Amino acid sequence: MPNAIPCPCCRNPIYFDLALLLKGEAFECSQCHSRISLTPQSRPIVAEASARLEELKQKASRQLDEKPEKQ
């Protein structure tokens, strides 16, 4: 599933690849041509938040798999 963020100017979705965003790439709104990117200082913060989110998703998935089915 592609990632998207609302354009800060026109609210049109700007689709982006998180790995590329973390490497410093900028992504452009197809409607108004505004660009989004991360500052070098923000990249480690976003990378850590993304990793923690993935850990939580995996933990929740494991918990769902472990729940006994009601009959």
Q: What is the pLDDT of residues 9-63, one digit of tens each?
A: 999 999 999 999 999 999 999 999 999 999 999 999 999 999 999 999 999 998 8
**44 to each of 26, 40, 51, 53, 65, how far by Cα in Å?**
16, 8, 10, 14, 32
Nearest 5°: phi and psi at 69?
-75, 140
pLDDT band at 65 (very low <50, low <70, confident <90, very high): confident
pLDDT at 66 over 90: no
Q: Where are the beta strands (DSSP E) in 17-71?
A: 27-28, 35-36
pTM of the complete model = 0.74
What is residue 42's three-state secondary structure? coil
pLDDT at 71 over 70: no
